Amino acid sequence: MRAMVLRGTTLSIQERPTPEPGPGQVLARVLACGICGSDLHAAKFLDGMIAAARRTGSTAWDESILESGIIMGHEFVAEVVKPGPGAEAWTPGTRVTSIPVMIDPAAPNGIAAIGYSATYPGAYGDYVLMSAPLLLRVPDGLPDTVAATTEPCAVGLHAVRQAGIQPGEPALVLGAGPIGLMTLLWLKHEGVPHVAVSELSAERRELASRLGADLVIDPRSQPLAETLQQATGRPAPSLVFECIGVPGTLQLAMDLADRSGRVVVVGACMEEDRILPLVGINKQLTLKFVLGYTPEEYAETLQALGSGAIDTSPMITRTVSLDELPAAFTALADPRDCKVVLIPGSR
């Protein structure tokens, strides 16, 4: 099969063996796979990501992947091609997705990450292996490209659920990239009456407006604190979602948050950052760092996309073929794009 391989910091299209499904697994043909910000980070900082994982006590990632290379891609929808022993209930032609892990008793904690493993290829290629017990049927009528946003959309749901939203409470989202916009969608779905979004890119500000933001701010031309106060009548937001993940934005979120407020950190900063703890102490702020989602949140997200309760389609700005994928990684440094989706079969 053809796939995009990351080795070190080099991306290349290669021929790789098509995997065979083992017991409890299915082989599936990739229909669509979104480009994730964590994959963009990995293409530059995979060694740093592994080092950070080690500092948390995780052994999930093996340093050998730096040399052997990996096939990334974990925001996928696929079509069952061949079920392995014990997975025959999943008939060929069934559209499926799942949380991007494989059940593997030999792996640390019994699971391996699809797309960050030398053993299990991700979906930046023609085929992907999936664990049958984790499979979810994609609802009929849901486009492949939208189904491929289930994973990042579940990240937004998890962030919102972890925030402990209070009735009538407004929220501020810093950053209108894919995760910031997914967070916005779930905040509005959960009934938050006023959601403000701060974003530098004009194109992404327009997307935030289309997706339901009550206030969209260009922080270069509008003073954030004053603009928010005028719009909400409150001295400062009690709930801030940091969805940018660059040095300085965590401190910005702390500066903007009201006394006794909460800052939910969703953006993944790949560098060391500095904050002034006394700001948090004086305000008695709560910092909440969030990661991923639960399997239940993933399933809830897929159901919401299928029913139309959540619509991520406006943020899908373009699709690319496998041959165009390496260049798309470079192009995504330009914030005019939002969610770019790979269609491996398009040439």
pLDDT digits (tens, 9 = 90+) for 198-214: 999 999 999 999 999 99
Q: Are residues 240 and 179 in the same domain?
A: yes
Determine the pLDDT at residue 38.
85
Q: What percent of the chain has pLDDT over 90?
A: 80
Contacting residues for 93 by C-beta, under 8 A, at least 6 apart: 79, 80
More confident residue, 43 or 329: 329
63 — pLDDT class (breaks 50, 70, 90): low
Classify residue 299: in a domain, yes or no. no
Q: Angle, nearest 10°, between helix axes 178-189 and 202-210?
A: 20
Nearest alpha carbon to residue 116 among 39, 40, 51, 48? 39
The verdict on 95 and 7 lying in the same domain is: yes
Rounded mean pLDDT, 108-133: 92
Q: Is residue 119 part of a domain?
A: yes
Say if residues 193 and 156 touch (Cβ distance below 8 Å): no
Predicted TM-score of the model (pTM): 0.94
Q: Please, which pLDDT band fits residue 270 given cuts at 50, 70 and 90?
A: confident
Mean pLDDT of 163-176: 95
What residues make up the domain containing 13? 2-149+312-342
CATH for 330: 3.90.180.10
H/E element, 6:
strand 2-7
Residues 199 and 89 in one domain: no
Q: DSSP secondary-structure letter at 307?
A: H
Residues 6+ apart with CB under 8 A from 137: 94, 95, 96
Residue 334's Cβ-side half-sphere holds a number of Cα atoms within 13 Å equal to 9
Mean of pLDDT values over 250-266: 97
Provide the number of structural domains found in the chain: 2
Within a domain: 140: yes
Tell me the Ramachandran region of residue 269: left when phi exceeds 0, alpha when psi lies from -120 to 50, beta otherwise. Answer: beta
User: For the chain, percent helix, then strand, then coil, each to nearest 5?
Assistant: 35, 25, 45
Distance CA 185, CA 116 (A): 28
Confidence of residue 58 (pLDDT cuts 50, 70, 90): low
Residue 77 domain flag: yes
